[in-house]
Amino acid sequence: MALNDSTPTPERISNDRTIVRLPMLLGLTLAGGVLIGASFFGGTKGLNSIGRGYTKYKEILQLIENNYVDSVNTDDLVDFSITKMLEKLDPHTAYLNPTDAVAARSQLEGGFDGIGVEFNIFADTVYVVTPLAGGPSETAGIRSGDKILKVDDTSLTSKGVDNSAVYKAMRGKRGTEVRLTVLSKGQKPRVVTVTRDRIPTYAVDAAYMTDAQTGYLKVNRFSDSAYEELRNALAGLKQQGMKQLVLDLRNNPGGYLDRATNMADEFIDGNKLLVYTDGKDDRYDRKYFAKLNGQFEDGALIVLIDEGSASASEILAGALQDHDRGYIVGRRSFGKGLVQMPVQLSDGSELRLTISRYYTPTGRSIQKPYVPGQEGDYEKELELRSKRGEYYVADSIKNDPKNVFKTDKGRTVYGGGGITPDYFVPRDSSWQTAYLGQLYAKNIIREYALSYANDNRARLEKMPFAEFDKAVNLTDEQLSTMNKAATAEGVKFNAAEFARSKNYIRTQTKALIARYVYQKANKGGQNNEFYRVMNTADNTYVKALTLFDKAQELEFGPKAVGKK
């Protein structure tokens, strides 16, 4: 029986679609991966050899349950022992308890059941950033800026309330009702009954034209709906006259393998090899080829990657690079070349077991080195890149000379540690300060942007974005008001650090205001206006727009440079 690549499979992802993450948070991609669906493991190979170990383990659990001096939760012991056992394998084989398995699955299955609000916690209070357009909360009359004081009998105003507590209170089976105690500005608290429903999640963050011929498309994960979203986005951009494209895969930790290959097929012509997998058991060996007439098989293509681009992102970038179809710009990718098969266990928990390695068309494994049982060293690898200057100096990238491969047109590429970009762009850390970090921690920027958007909504919603872009620019006086709000929340003002971060804070705030104003007008969960503003301060994006001559030369040859 063959593997069913379309079987929904989970992956833990942490992705804030609006706030630019600080550098070392990229370690979250460790939880990501390439997933291949299956509903079974066949055969009984090795059962006799593990029988003695199983008997011993069962005996120990029974002895603890019956004789240990204190009461213990044997389920917790089992979960702990499984987790420790898997640490002796590769860094990506993992065990998820039932709660984590459901949460992880919702990130890739296109949605979850809930009330349909984006919230923000500010000063120990839960604020509605925006209700999902057409969702259950908007239907019930909840608006941006409302405070949610209680969910049923659970208070959300206690000190230390966090995201997990809010998720637990708000999410639940679709069709069930939940009573929210809501406080709107200038009114008394009221109780609103909301019927939970399916809340969609999206893979394409943005798809817009930067000029008359250049499109920009950002993919945040390879989820269940990613391929369909990409196709729709490409079609829309082509209708607007797109001739060349920037495909942004930065901070994309992966997802379904077949979504990655289907998306590669949209850019690569003929029946070229896209990726292949190889494992101990040949049942899991597969070759994936291009087979469709893709929507953008011709035209200059630039692909943005960084150290947060992992697994499925690397499959797509690797296929485009090996076939000389895309010009890769940014920094070296994460380096995750293992494929997991998720198996749901009887209690709803899940085992994600590494069953094979994947290889790019040239035969590259991009898996970075690891030592089984030393996961801590593996997790520190991104930090080590920073210490040796790799994020800032191209020559600091240390490729293994034994892992040299040639692309279709004879260019040199490397395996054994991620995708090395064709053009390196250093990380811009000039604006990153401790003061900015404290503003993020206290949600000062988001809160100011939300208040500004709500106070000026009637005027701003009438503006086309081009007019908004010219009209809305935060003054020094407005930034001073934000700093005073931060001081009131316990953030000590630092003039020197604020000066370094000032322009970035101004851009970030304007981008968030644009998002809150225009989000309802966008379809498919895209935040085009946010990225239109934010990308102006993104040095990798800005540089990429100047490199289409190199992308054209890669695609069409030197004689084609300058032609459109």
pLDDT tens by residue, 475-496? 999 999 999 999 999 999 999 9
For 247-266, the pLDDT digits (tens) are 999 999 999 999 999 999 99
Q: What is the mean pLDDT of residues 105-109?
A: 76
Q: Which residue, chain included where needed, has tokens 């498309």?
A: 217
How far is Cα 328 from Cα 555, in angstroms, rounded to an integer? 12
Whether 353 and 282 map to the same domain: the answer is yes
Please answer whether residues 446 and 485 qualify as being in contact, where contact means their C-beta atoms are separated by less than 8 angstroms: no
Q: Is the domain of 116 the same as that of 29?
A: no
94 and 120 in a common domain: no
Q: Decide if pLDDT at 20 tops 80.
A: no
Q: 339 in a domain, yes or no?
A: yes
Print the domain residue range for 468. Answer: 434-540
Domain assignment present for residue 224? The answer is yes
Distance CA 159, CA 146 (A): 19
- pLDDT-derived band at 11 (thresholds 50, 70, 90) equals very low
Q: What is the mean pLDDT of the chain?
A: 86
Domain end: 367, 394, 424, which one?
A: 424
553 belongs to a structural domain: no
Q: How far apart are alpha carbons 408 and 274 in whole angstroms? A: 13
Cα 559 from chain centroid? 38
Which spans in 38-115 are helix H?
47-67, 74-86, 98-108
Question: pLDDT of 454-466, one tens digit each?
Answer: 999 999 999 999 9
Are both 378 and 404 inside the same structural domain?
yes
215 & 134 share domain: no
Residue 342 lies in a domain: yes
Whether 1 shows a pLDDT value over 50: the answer reads no
Other beta carbons within 10 angstroms of residue 443's beta carbon come to 18
pTM: 0.85
Residues 451 and 482 in one domain: yes
Total count of domains within the chain: 3
Q: How confident is the model at residue 381 (pLDDT cuts 50, 70, 90)?
A: confident
Residue where the block lists tokens 């710009």: 329
Residue 12 has pLDDT above 50, yes or no: no
* Residue 341 lies inside a defined structural domain of this protein: yes
Domain edge (last residue) among 155, 174, 200: 200
Q: Which of 97-111, 308-322, 495-509 has the lowest mean pLDDT?
A: 97-111
More confident of the two residues 132 and 553: 553
Domain containing residue 181: CATH number: 2.30.42.10
Round the CA-based radius of gyration of the chain to a whole number and report it. 25
259 and 147 housed in the same domain: no
Judgement on whether residues 248 and 304 belong to the same structural domain of the protein:
yes
Active site residues: 311, 322, 336
pLDDT score at 558: 65
Say yes or no: 518 and 495 in one domain.
yes
pLDDT at 383 over 90: no
pLDDT digits (tens, 9 = 90+) for 524-542: 789 999 999 999 999 999 9
Question: What CATH number does residue 380 fall under?
Answer: 3.90.226.10
Closest CA to 28 of 12, 45, 49, 51: 12
Mark whether 70 and 173 lie in a shared domain: no
What is the number of other CB atoms lying within 10 angstroms of the CB of residue 489? Answer: 16
The answer to whether the CB of 423 falls within 8 A of the CB of 547 is: yes
What pLDDT shows up at residue 520? 72
Per-residue burial over 346-361, b = 16 or more CB atoms within 10 Å of its CB, e = otherwise: eeebbbbbbbbbbbbb
Q: Looking at the domain assignment, is residue 564 inside a domain?
A: no
* Predicted confidence (pLDDT) per residue in 286-339, tens digit: 999 999 999 999 999 999 999 999 999 999 999 999 999 999 999 999 999 999
Residues 272 and 420 in one domain: yes
Structural domain includes residue 37: yes
pLDDT at 351: 92
Percent of the chain with pLDDT over 90: 59
52 phi and psi, to 5 degrees?
-65, -40
pLDDT at residue number 26: 27
- Domain final residue pick, 200, 228, 247: 200
Using alpha carbons, select from 179, 190, 189 the residue that is nearest to residue 154: 179
pLDDT band at 37 (very low <50, low <70, confident <90, very high): low
Return the pLDDT at 382. 86
pLDDT of 27 over the 80 cut:
no
Sign of the Cα pseudo-torsion (542, 544, 545, 549, in order)? positive
Average pLDDT over residues 385-406: 89
Residue 161 pLDDT level (bands cut at 50, 70, 90): confident
> Does residue 413 form part of some domain?
yes
Rounded-to-integer distance, Cα 27 and Cα 251, Å: 10
Average pLDDT over residues 388-407: 89
- Pair (38, 117) in one structural domain: no
